[in-house]
Amino acid sequence: MKFRCLLLTALLIPAFGSASAVADETKAVQGEVRAWREANEQQIVDGFVELLSIPNVASDSANIRRNADYLGGLLESRGFETRLLESAGPPAVYGERMAEGAERTIMIYIHYDGQPANAADWASDPWKPVMRTGMVEDGASAVPIKAPFDPEWRLFGRSSGDDKAPVIALLAALDALAANGHEPKVNLKVFLEGEEEAGSPHLQEVLAANRELLQADLWLFCDGPMHQSRRLQLVYGVRGTTGFDVTVHGPARPLHSGHYGNWAPNPIAELMDLLLSMRAPNGEILVEGYFDEVTPLTESEQYAIESAPSVDELLLDQLGIGAAETDERVEMAIMRPAMNFRGIRSGDVGDDARNAIQVSATASVGLRLVPSQTPAHVRRAINAHIQAKGFTVLDHPPSTEERTRHERIAEVHWSEHGYPAYRASMDLPIAQEIAAILDSVGAEPLIQLPTMGGSLPIYLIAQEIGAPVLILPVANHDNNQHGKDENIRLQNLWDAIEIYAAVITGL
């Protein structure tokens, strides 16, 4: 056991140079960057407020282009050559700043669009940033946006956490390094996407059209929330996604439950029976062939998960859950393919319930894929499972003739927007290099996770560009991304500046 742990620890130690030399250099730069930031907080925050004041819903073409132009200007003032990469959607802002003699190129991915926001739900206008002394739900009060700032204060506004904070932190890191006479030893590229929250409908097209331009040794995805423990984490992948709606059809019209109950098929019962035949109470997927393509975790990946601090007890308490669905820790549970029953509808409940056997019952099922599952394969496996359960699978409501010809009918509609998972290898030298840098930036050891729970179409980068991708989240985990009162905790912003400076100078 001891031997195994030593071996696995060895796998996570950087394979290049001396770990302590990296740490010493990182710490030195970190101190200079921190001093510069402490002297320039007002200026950093003012710039952030200005950026957050430009509404950024992807479908709002005029404003989204204002964001793009504004971001291009910010990059150019830091010496980047920029271009807008056009498609039928919002432009991607591309920038590059080549370093003399640099042998490697790093691409920083950030998205500048945000989720739509219902202003009525927010404590203040989503696009008029407000500083508060803490979380709205804790009754924090608004304060003037004036230094000195308490690091526990939060700046509220759509995209403050997801995903404009990385832009501001990256620019501040570059400014801090320049002020201290540090030049990056790596070519820097940035790719700022303008429709991530809209599902990246044109990302593949833009990547394919700009393959040469977008080449890099690593794409660093700066998106998502940090670990709940507030410790820095590096994530090697994301889950894929697809889903379907299934409608089980019963009688052609609602039937009196007294006259026909126990005889006419009950579509709610049949739907439930079908759904539970696909998923065990602990979440295990029971569909034959479903795991054919699954790549098991490597020992390094398992060890990395086991090394992360456990947040299970914290989550049970915060989320009001008496017991988890599984004995596994949450980080391990999300390594499995997941089937989520996200909605179910038939008839009415409460006072509106009628004593009828319903004509149909519909469920919506979300699927999270792990490497190397493909949407096409899971679709085939699930359709075959439904048929094996005795259902005729249709893609349309049954005709009168189909109703009487088939004993059981399931109408199935698959999501058009499915995509596979992505996971980089922990053995990649550049991954180990980044891990070593990050490990020396934080006060506590770096957390490394093979896959985060959410889904992003990162596979596109591997597919179109061929570069490995790592995900480096910097926003506080409670930034309310996608929801009302989205915010960035100032300490997270300050830390992000040091993180980017360390990566840029450390590579």
Residues in 398-457 that interact with its own copies by CB under 8 A = 400, 403-409, 452-455
CB-nearer residue toward its own copies: 205 or 245: 245
CB-nearer residue toward its own copies: 101 or 322: 322
Is 155 within 8 Å of 48 (Cβ atoms)? yes
Given 102, 145, 324, 394, the residue binding its own copies (CB under 8 A):
324
Given 53, 87, 257, 372, the residue binding its own copies (CB under 8 A):
257
Stretch that binds its own copies, among 26-34, 104-112, 117-125, 249-257 (CB under 8 A): 249-257
Q: What is the DSSP letter of 419?
A: B
CA distance 311 to 308: 9
10 Å CB burial of residue 412 (0-12, 13-18, 19+) is middle
Spell out the SS3 assignment of 124-170.
CCCCCCEEECCCHHHCCCEECCCCCCCCCCEEECCCCCCCCHHHHHH
The least CB distance from residue 385 to its own copies, in Å, is: 16
Phi-psi sector, 347: left (phi>0), alpha (psi -120 to 50), beta: left
Instruction: Answer yes or no whether residue 266 interacts with its own copies by CB under 8 A.
Output: yes
CB-nearer residue toward its own copies: 96 or 301: 301
Is 57 within 8 Å of 181 (Cβ atoms)? no
Per-residue tokens: 467: 């570069």
CA distance 324 to 336: 15
Instruction: Answer yes or no whether residue 261 interacts with its own copies by CB under 8 A.
Output: yes
Instruction: Answer yes or no whether residue 139 interacts with its own copies by CB under 8 A.
Output: no
Cα-based torsion angle of the residue sequence 190, 500, 39, 35 in order, rounded to the nearest 10 degrees? -150
Per-residue tokens: 246: 């299934």
The set of residues, in sequence order, having a beta carbon less than 8 Å from that of 266 and lying 6+ positions away, is 250, 357, 358
Given 71, 268, 472, 496, the residue binding its own copies (CB under 8 A):
268
Bridge partners (DSSP) listed for residue 289: none
Given 314, 340, 376, 380, the residue binding its own copies (CB under 8 A):
340
Stretch that binds its own copies, among 121-129, 360-368, 379-387, 428-436 (CB under 8 A): 360-368
Q: Contacts with its own copies: how many residues (CB under 8 A)? A: 84
Residues 141 to 200 in contact with its own copies, rule: CB under 8 A: none
Residues 304 to 323 in contact with its own copies, rule: CB under 8 A: 315-317, 319-323
CA distance 389 to 358: 21
Residues 368 to 397 in contact with its own copies, rule: CB under 8 A: 368
Stretch that binds its own copies, among 59-67, 87-95, 354-362, 495-503 (CB under 8 A): 354-362
Instruction: Answer yes or no whether residue 269 interacts with its own copies by CB under 8 A.
Output: yes
CB-nearer residue toward its own copies: 179 or 333: 333
Instruction: Answer yes or no whether residue 118 interacts with its own copies by CB under 8 A.
Output: no
CB-nearer residue toward its own copies: 128 or 256: 256
Instruction: Answer yes or no whether residue 70 interacts with its own copies by CB under 8 A.
Output: no
The least CB distance from residue 163 to its own copies, in Å, is: 15
The least CB distance from residue 408 to its own copies, in Å, is: 7
Which CA distances in Å does 428 have to 19, 23, 67?
16, 20, 35
CA distance 371 to 424: 10
CB-nearer residue toward its own copies: 147 or 275: 275
Is 229 within 8 Å of 483 (Cβ atoms)? no
CA distance 260 to 356: 9
Instruction: Answer yes or no whether residue 106 interacts with its own copies by CB under 8 A.
Output: no
Instruction: Answer yes or no whether residue 366 interacts with its own copies by CB under 8 A.
Output: yes
CA distance 341 to 276: 10
Given 27, 256, 380, 417, the residue binding its own copies (CB under 8 A):
256
The least CB distance from residue 300 to its own copies, in Å, is: 22
31 alpha carbon, distance to own chain's centre: 31
Instruction: Answer yes or no whether residue 251 interacts with its own copies by CB under 8 A.
Output: yes
